[in-house]
Structure 1
Amino acid sequence: MLKPKHIDHTIPVKKSSVAVIGSGFSGLSAAAYLAKAGHRVNVYEKNIEIGGRSRQMVEEGYTFDMGPSWYWMPEVFENFFNDFGYKASDFYELKQLDPGFTVVFGKSDVLNIPADYAALESLFESIEHGSAVQLKLFLEEAAYKYRTGMNKLVHKPGLSLLEFADWDLIKGVFRLQVFTSFSKHVRRFFKDPRLITLMEFPVLFLGAMPQDTPALYSLMNYAGLKLGTWYPKGGFGKVIEGMQKVCEAHGVVFHTNSPVSHLQVANGKIEKVGTKHGEDDYDGVIASADYHHVEQQLLDEANRNYSADYWEKRVIAPSSLIFYLGVNRKIEKLEHHTLFFDADLKLHATEIYKDPKWPTKPLFYVCCPSKSDDSVAPDGHENLFILMPLAPGIQDTEALRAEYFELIMERLEAYTGVPIRTAIDYKKSYCVNDFKTDYNSFKGNAYGLANTLMQTAHLKPSIKNKKVKNLFYTGQLTVPGPGVPPSIISGKVSSKLLIQYLNHK
């Protein structure tokens, strides 16, 4: 069994008992830091498997990551394990992908994004004269935002504007471009529509129209284009497994198939957490489950931060239509990550955010991890994860799933030159209704809260319950925001606040 390598010398004299609701990245992160600080931690997970959206599904020789598939910002993962005396390599092998990803604009119009930066500059220059210099300038600005964001912003709990009364932040506020449109910012540097689309795709997938997203988020371009795209061998489930081992080494106890049914509050504090197995007493709670669900279903109205009307007015990140496919032949033309942008980005974005409907001609994404990892598919087979961003809260039927499967496969087969449909030996779909059922996800969202200006930093749903003093929230509906690295950081931030409360109560 894994032994703890790092003991926190600020362990409280009397251990407090803490419940963490949910075992996704933010929940595992919070549980680990709380246990390291000496508290007794129990994690309640409604599903049979640990991992939340990053669960794995093993079927007929295929291992599917059910959720996240992009490993960006590797230092965030490394920092988590370092905090407990480990390295990421103690738990999984990390491989840099080259190309990092591929963007398909048409059958013969394909961009392979190289891992080598000089090659990336050459690629940009071949598309638009002068764009290599522009890329350098763009990424220099993005690097500043990334360093400032990762070192200054993302670790702040967002409880007060005073948190941002930092001289470096104040003097750099214009360079951070919080009030500048991402769309306008990109167009200052590039004119070719393919380069614009390449720069805008991360914000589309993380939850807003590019024109409604602050240019601050060009830090995502720096992460993807300069820091590289990586893959943990065995899939994201290996990262979850590593974090679970860290938790268990520090005494965390996991309760699967144990959805929380209610939180009993008395005198402004949660005293009991109820499941189908009964009630248990706790000194503090971290809710890594869907924020809206916790507020609307587990708390009485008097103890909620926000009303149902508040939630209806939030801009929610997309849901997704996902297909998990096992294919009994190789598909040579696919890379590990392939983005199909052979359709109108603006139209699809509008049909997610402004005029919610099933898309007229969707963009979609294909992950083929068997290109990098023989362990996720039988020999000679391919493992495909196909994702189409979709408006949250939209109608989800089997008929619509089937219709869009055929639409997507027609384009995928035309590009690859392979009759994939006749080679499928495993197929499962996943959409809005499944996100609701499996994760109690608000409107069936896949990514949490959109990164708009009015939902940035202290304007996001509060990480702290304002009426229940020992209840804190974590994950992609609160600070710092959607994505795997932010969720890991969110768990650390929320755990720190609860530790402070427990040490001074």
Structure 2
Amino acid sequence: MKNIIVVGAGIGGLTAAVRLQKLGYNVTIYEKEATPGGKMNQIKSGGFTFDVGPTIVMMPDIYREIFEFCDRNPDDYIPMQKVEPMLDLFFRDEEKLSFTSDLVQLVKTLEKISEEDAQGYLQFLTDIYKRYLIAKNAFLTKSFRGPLDFYNPKSIYAGLKLKTFNDAYSSISKYVKDERLRKSLAFQTLYIGISPYQGPSLYTIIPMIELLYGVHYIKGGMYTVATAVAKLFKELGGEIVYNAPVEELVIENRKTTGIKVNNTVINADAVICNVDFPYAMRELIPDEKQRGKYTNKKIDNMAYSCSCFVLYLGLDKKYPTSSVHNIYFADDFKLNVDELFEKGTLPEDPSFYLYRPSLMDADLAPDNQEALYVLVPVPELSKFSDWSDEMQHQYRNKIIDLIKQRTVFKDIEEHIVFEDCYTPKKFKDNFNAFNGATFGLKPTLSQSNYYRPHNKFKYAENLYFCGSSTHPGAGVPIVMQSAKLAVEELVKDDRP
């Protein structure tokens, strides 16, 4: 039995550790915080419970698979229920759209707009589903070591069939004319931190996945996933060492021999690192010569996803029922997106997301009260860094005013009894997110698939990576897939 160290108890590290432990390895996770989960964490205070980071459960089969891999019933660990309606989309001067994964209701919604758009929308779903199957089989479920893993006739043919060179918004516009429908299919690229006006058209698979596979809720919120996978890991005999920040990945003669914690070297036969890849390069491998092409200059010049400004509000009042997930679009969505990615300024009229988990789960707030999660996409720190207390307070007030203007929470300021806030700086400080970029490296064509950091590290043996900045990319199910690929690479080396 070989000793494996996993660095970081985020969902990627936990998933990798469970798989390795089940496969017969002796696995220890080292985590800098006192709890598991990374960005998939939790705030609890005054009877209110909030998820810190991710909130939307998509691709539920991937969540379930890690438990099934260990011959466990997922329902015993992560009880799910479908969210309906899936989400509501609000526009300042136009009628809202309510989306469902019920095909009959979806068609009715589309036909109210126009039969032409209904036909185009369904054609879009058909086309992007075909492309999704190609991407899943040719790229998302495969890792890359050398050029021939990517530059081969089969992969090149699959890549051409994906038609990735158009941006997401332009691709969508070919199918539907109604501007609300275009936005409804485009904004989800922000889930992985890239502009729909720049991101490859393939990322329109995200709304397709929502519509065809549904959006779900897990009892207790997303943090239940982190605690459930950590519980499974311990049941299998694994160990998690908390409050143990890793200071260095120990590499000798191009071979990884362990980690350094509290200035003490802990040896291992292999290491899987779930720390954000750019941070790991800069901070955990201090000798640039050991990193190959990933010099400080290279890391600084890579493109990073946007970040988030998040308010967690406990309200001593129940408000009229609406959807659990709600998107409010800026009047000029294109300008809003340009501010995030091009101008590097805080959006003047931002789009924002309201998550109301206590509508699904009464245990997340005291009786007759409500937990409200407010997320605003903002630039990452290399583009905008002034998150002083004064700036944070000013932007908080701007967002509260928008909520009062545009939502059912007209008197929200009078009913806030608990409040917390995360800024890009806090994502950087708390979770080692490089530049505070919540979703890691931006998934441009030049930073995707073979061109994204690989699961097996090229420049040192016995070192593997998973997480949102590593292939295949960001989003909870995709990070779990990243962990699976990292484990497969390790096993391939250990048991050829």
TM-score band w.r.t. shorter chain: over 0.9
Q: In the alignment, what sits opposite 2:340?
A: 352
> 406, 417, 424: which one pairs with 2:416?
424
CA offset at residue 427 of structure 1?
A: 0.3
Q: In the alignment, what sits opposite 1:392?
A: 380
CA offset at residue 68 of structure 1?
A: 0.4
After superposition, where does 1:435-474 map in structure 2 within 5 Å? Answer: 435-474=427-466
Cα distance in 2 for residues equivalent to 1:457 and 1:160: 12
After superposition, where does 1:72-87 map in structure 2 within 5 Å? Answer: 72-87=58-73
What percent of counterpart residues are identical?
28
SS of 2:495's equivalent? helix
Of stretches 396-405 and 194-203 in structure 1, the one that deviates more from structure 2 is 396-405
1:378 and 2:370 aligned = no
Cα distance in 2 for residues equivalent to 1:313 and 1:193: 35
* TM-aligned CA distance change 1:369 to 1:277, over 3 Å: farther
Of stretches 273-282 and 345-354 in structure 1, the one that deviates more from structure 2 is 273-282
- Partners of 2:281 and 2:291 within 8 A in 1: yes
Cα distance in 1 for residues equivalent to 2:443 and 2:254: 32
Q: Deviations over 1:404-452 (max 9, x none)?
A: 2221122212221531111111100111111111111110111112221
- The alignment yields a C-alpha RMSD, in angstroms, of 1.8
- Partners of 1:141 and 1:175 within 8 A in 2: no
After superposition, where does 1:89-488 map in structure 2 within 5 Å? Answer: 89-106=75-92, 109-164=95-150, 171-276=157-262, 278-299=264-285, 300-305=287-292, 306-393=294-381, 394-395=384-385, 396-414=387-405, 415-488=407-480
CA offset at residue 24 of structure 1?
A: 1.0
How many residues are paired up?
A: 490
Q: Deviations over 1:25-59 (max 9, x none)?
A: 11111111111121111111111110000011211
Code of the aligned partner of 2:34: I
Cα distance in 1 for residues equivalent to 2:73 and 2:148: 35
* TM-aligned CA distance change 1:467 to 1:359, over 3 Å: same
Unaligned 5+ runs, structure 1: 1-14
Cα distance in 1 for residues equivalent to 2:154 and 2:243: 47
Code of the aligned partner of 2:354: V
CA offset at residue 331 of structure 1?
A: 1.6
Q: Deviations over 1:299-351 (max 9, x none)?
A: 12111140122122222111111111110111215421111114322112111
Cα distance in 1 for residues equivalent to 2:197 and 2:156: 24
Unaligned 5+ runs, structure 2: none
Cα distance in 2 for residues equivalent to 1:242 and 1:99: 27
CA offset at residue 481 of structure 1?
A: 0.3
Q: Deviations over 1:106-160 (max 9, x none)?
A: 2762111123122112212212341111111100112112223333321211334
- Partners of 2:59 and 2:213 within 8 A in 1: yes
Of stretches 276-285 and 135-144 in structure 1, the one that deviates more from structure 2 is 276-285
Under a length normalisation based on structure 2, what TM-score does the superposition of the two structures give? 0.95
Q: Deviations over 1:94-117 (max 9, x none)?
A: 111111011110276211112312
CA offset at residue 487 of structure 1?
A: 0.3
Cα distance in 2 for residues equivalent to 1:204 and 1:183: 12
Q: In the alignment, what sits opposite 1:6?
A: none
Q: Deviations over 1:202-231 (max 9, x none)?
A: 112312222322222221121112211111
SS of 2:247's equivalent? strand
* TM-aligned CA distance change 1:204 to 1:417, over 3 Å: closer
CA offset at residue 176 of structure 1?
A: 1.5
> 58, 63, 81: which one pairs with 2:49?
63
- Partners of 1:204 and 1:349 within 8 A in 2: no
1:497 and 2:483 aligned = no
SS of 1:212's equivalent? coil
Q: Deviations over 1:231-255 (max 9, x none)?
A: 1011011111221122112221001
Under a length normalisation based on structure 1, what TM-score does the superposition of the two structures give? 0.93
Of stretches 232-241 and 203-212 in structure 1, the one that deviates more from structure 2 is 203-212
Cα distance in 2 for residues equivalent to 1:138 and 1:161: 33
Cα distance in 2 for residues equivalent to 1:381 and 1:435: 28
Code of the aligned partner of 1:221: P
CA offset at residue 173 of structure 1?
A: 4.0
Code of the aligned partner of 1:302: K
- Partners of 1:285 and 1:470 within 8 A in 2: yes
